[in-house]
Chain A
């Protein structure tokens, strides 16, 4: 009875790929931040407009918001609710149902460990345990310096390569713990 007790914890969320604009916004200084965010809201508005502000487009719009902002912060959800004329609780309910939507910012880099059956049979859980030990975080968490998020995926569909991982959108197969840790270090060094 340990981790399961927290209603807020999502188990092994699959993770959005981070967009270029997200990285950019992190680097931007405070002065340009406001402008930057206005531009992002505009992009979101465009998407809503393209869907004729129809409530049914909620998931499409949240995809766009996640891509644009990196995660779904409260103001963004409010903006979407207003734009699509939806109750706040409905928007929140949908945003938290789907594992690809994140209400918290993720790390600069992501390492996804595939936990599908084929990978499991070939030792993915041991691999994950080693990575958790190496990074000092649990699956679904981000290191305290915000550098890297460790995530689990249900199945990335490359079962022939089990066990497989995805570091910053690049798939690598037939992994050993040492190989993956090296790749993570390389990614962090960039």
Chain B
């Protein structure tokens, strides 16, 4: 396997060719903000939080979908990136109804974490207060679309790891939402195996276990990575 070397925030990293800048950053112990990225799933590059500056390229590129190249010089933090990332967070908060105080994921929410990471103490853009629904038809789980940020991790985990493809995105633009089956109640979708992987994958409190109340959801996000590697490498011990 060939190896490429590159610099991330001045740190030299050597990593297998074909890896992403995100993986290289992890190797270099550099934290890059992200929401749609989850180790073990395919990448979509949609949340745009992980955009980085690469010397010699006049476009910002997402770390999760950009392949490493020999000699790359990557900058993951700059005033501009910080400002743009903060705007992305403000847009996300304004787009849904994220009332942290009453959310199952309060304190264990990646959206909340990212807001702190980018220094968002308030949103400069007005909140939209969309009229969104919650679906509690499943015996074990619920989905509250108010808290959904459309990262599509649930869609991918269900399709790529569980193989059930219960979820997909329907409509378009601001009306996009996660749909189960033919826009049926989740509990009515035959394909759902109630495996709970979408609960673990969800970065916010949008998909949750029904017996969790405010601040009680503790998602096990590393479990998916473990599962993928377990299958690949036949290592069943964490």
Does a CB–CB distance below 8 Å link A and B in the complex?
yes
> Nearest B residue to A77 by beta-carbon distance?
B182
Contact B165 A90 (CB under 8 A): yes
The size bracket of the interface on B is 20 to 34
* Inter-subunit contact A10/B175 (CB<8 Å): yes
Establish whether residues B182 and A4, one from each chain, have CB atoms under 8 Å apart when the complex forms. Answer: no
Q: Which residue of A lies closest to B181 (CB)?
A: A88
Q: Is the CB of A89 within 8 A of B167?
A: yes
CB A8 to nearest CB in B, in angstroms, measures: 7
Query: Would you call B130 an interface residue if the criterion is a C-beta within 8 Å of the partner chain's C-beta atoms?
Result: yes
The size bracket of the interface on A is 20 to 34
- B168 near A87 with CB under 8 A, answer yes
Which of A4, A6, A91, A96 has the largest number of chain B CB atoms within 10 A?
A: A96
Which chain A residue has the least Cβ–Cβ distance from B129?
A: A1
Judged by DSSP, the binding face of A is helix
- Number of A-B pairs whose CB atoms are under 8 Å? 68
A4 touches B165 (CB 8 A): no
Does B128 belong to the interface (CB within 8 Å)?
Answer: yes
Q: Which residues of B contact A78 (CB under 8 A)?
A: 182
Does B179 contact A4, Cβ atoms closer than 8 Å? Answer: no
> Quick one: CB contact mask for A23-34 with B, threshold 8 Å, 1 for yes?
000000000000
- Say if the beta carbon of A7 comes within 8 Å of chain B: yes
Question: What is the bound-complex CA distance between A92 and B183, given in angstroms?
Answer: 7
CB within 8 A of B179: which of A10, A81, A93? Answer: A93
**Contacting pair B182 A93 (CB below 8 A):** no
B175 touches A89 (CB 8 A): no
Q: Does A144 lie at the interface of the complex (its beta carbon under 8 Å from any beta carbon of B)?
A: no
Asked if A7 meets B171 with Cβ closer than 8 Å, knowing A1-B128, A88-B189, the reply is yes
> How far is A7 from B131 in the complex, measured between Cα atoms in Å?
8
Q: Would you call A9 an interface residue if the criterion is a C-beta within 8 Å of the partner chain's C-beta atoms?
A: yes
The distance from the CB of B97 to the nearest CB of chain A, in whole angstroms, is 11
**Chain A 12-59 residues near chain B, CB threshold 8 A:** none
Q: A8-B175, A96-B171, A97-B172 are in contact. Are A91 and B130 (CB under 8 A)?
A: no
Query: Cβ of A10 and Cβ of B182 under 8 Å apart?
Result: no
Determine the distance from Cα of A93 to Cα of B175 in the docked complex, in whole angstroms. 12
Contact A92-B170, Cβ < 8 Å, known A10-B175, A77-B182, A87-B165: yes
> Which residues of the partner chain A approach B168 to less than 8 Å between Cβ atoms?
87, 89-90, 92-93
Q: Is B121 an interface residue (CB 8 A)?
A: no
A132 on the interface (CB 8 Å rule)? no
Q: Are A92 and B129 in contact (CB under 8 A)?
A: no
B174 CB within 8 Å of chain A: yes
State which residues 124-144 of B face A: CB under 8 Å: 128-133
Q: Does A74 contact B (CB under 8 A)?
A: yes
Q: Is B180's beta carbon under 8 Å from chain A?
A: yes
- Counting CB contacts under 8 A, is B16 at the interface? no
| A190 contacts chain B at the CB level, 8 A cutoff | no
| A-B contacts besides A5-B130, A88-B189, A89-B182, 4 pairs, CB < 8 Å | A6-B131, A7-B175, A81-B182, A93-B168
What are 27 sample pairs from A and B whose C-beta atoms fall under 8 A apart? A1-B128, A1-B129, A4-B130, A5-B128, A5-B129, A6-B175, A7-B131, A7-B171, A8-B175, A9-B175, A11-B175, A81-B182, A87-B159, A88-B181, A88-B182, A88-B184, A88-B191, A90-B165, A91-B182, A92-B168, A92-B170, A92-B182, A92-B183, A93-B169, A96-B170, A96-B171, A96-B172
